[in-house]
Amino acid sequence: MKLPVCLIASAGLLLGLIAPGALGADDIQRDAQGVPVQGPVTFDAGAAPALEVKRIKSGHILVKPRVNGHDAGWFIFDTGAGICCISTPQVAGLDLASAGSIQATGVGGSKEAKLYTAKSLQLGPATFRDHPLMEVDLAFLEPLVGEKICGIIGYGVLSKCVGEIDLAAPAVSLSDPASYKLQSGNWTSADLGDRVPVVAGQFEGHDGRFRLDLGANGSVTFHKAAVDKYKMLEGRDVRDCKMGGVGGFVAGKRGKISSLQLGGTTFDNVDADFALEAKGSFGDDQKDANIGTDILKRFVIITDYPNNRLALIPKQPSSTPTSPTSPTSPTPPTTSPSIGR
């Protein structure tokens, strides 16, 4: 029997420094996690903030950056990626400079990955200088999503911009944080300590810390520590599944939770996956769950990483449900208390 798969393209891509000079790049200035320090970003005031986007069958949103002046192909736009990535087959021909290596953690575990820098990465109105890219072989995604994936746009871009993301439209825009004004809704604090946004919410009467991951399809995937702490498999109707992404696969169970509260909206009878292994990013016991596109498409998401905040603005429910998750009792988002690491 073929098991259902929850595809999580990056699942946090948590980073840890390992021997940055191993590849002869020891003269590069780095941050505390070993990533080459980015150069400045500039915004073209005459360019529209909206990006060229494409939504694929998995629910992911693709954008098309230019790297060192080259058309680099379609990249997943992913809040769940702690660094922007370039797929191994795309490295040649983009004039990238070697920048050492780093330890990267995805769904299936940790591995050493090569780093590069691009003199420029252009996406919509924004041009990023000396932009770090991590090499990851994303060829495994093509048969799952039906599209050649050339890279991932993640923290490196979002850390310099305000992003407006509407998965259902689909639409993505990038704006200058210095001049951006929120038109509706309210900001809520986001913990970006691991380069992936984590916000407060609730599930089945419990307070939770949720990673917001545009690279994950599905609704919500609970980490192994939360599954054990709250005895989430006891008395619950579940079946076998697996979660796949960078680094491999993790065994899990699939079922439903009775309720999830996020961004001022309550979702009832929510499809959920439960990790059975404390591997990779699902071994993080400081977060309870990963929120994927089936939930996030119910909001317009506005990210303001430079100010450690985001807004989740509920969309009007569709007259024809597009997933088994049913939103109820929408209320205006309110500012959440600051989330400490």
Mean pLDDT for 99-105 is 83
Report in angstroms the alpha-carbon separations of 55 from 50, 103, 146: 15, 30, 11
What is the rounded distance in angstroms from the CA atom of residue 214 to the CA atom of residue 294? 10
pLDDT digits (tens, 9 = 90+) for 237-270: 999 998 866 667 889 999 999 999 999 999 999 9
What is the rounded distance in angstroms from the CA atom of residue 141 to the CA atom of residue 49? 28
Question: Backbone phi, then psi, for 281, in 5-degree steps?
Answer: -70, -20
Q: Helices marked H in the chain — which ranges?
A: 142-145, 155-158, 224-229, 293-296
Q: Are 103 and 15 in contact (CB under 8 A)?
A: yes
The reported pLDDT for the residue numbered 112 is: 84
Given a cut of 90, is residue 12 above it in pLDDT?
no
Given a cut of 90, is residue 326 above it in pLDDT?
no
pLDDT digits (tens, 9 = 90+) for 185-213: 999 999 999 899 999 999 999 999 999 99
pLDDT digits (tens, 9 = 90+) for 133-184: 999 999 888 888 889 999 999 999 999 999 999 999 999 999 999 999 999 9
The reported pLDDT for the residue numbered 108 is: 53
Given a cut of 50, is residue 319 above it in pLDDT?
no
What structural domains does the chain harbor?
5-175 (2.40.70.10), 188-328 (2.40.70.10)
Map tokens 């609970």 to a residue.
Answer: 222
Give residues with Cβ within 8 angstroms of 320, minimum separation 6: none
Half-sphere exposure of 117 (CA within 13 A, CB side): 17
Q: What single-letter DSSP state applies at residue 139? A: G
Q: Are 314 and 299 in contact (CB under 8 A)?
A: yes
Given a cut of 80, is residue 310 above it in pLDDT?
yes
Report in angstroms the alpha-carbon separations of 30 from 26, 115, 193: 9, 12, 16
Instruction: Assign 3-state DSSP to the chain and report helix, strand, coil percentages, each to 5.
Output: 10, 45, 45
* Most distant pair of Cα atoms in the chain: their distance: 58
Given a cut of 70, is residue 321 above it in pLDDT?
no
The reported pLDDT for the residue numbered 107 is: 57
The reported pLDDT for the residue numbered 24 is: 43
Retrieve residue 338's tokens: 């600051």
**Residue 50 binned pLDDT confidence (cut-offs 50, 70, 90):** very high
The reported pLDDT for the residue numbered 168 is: 93
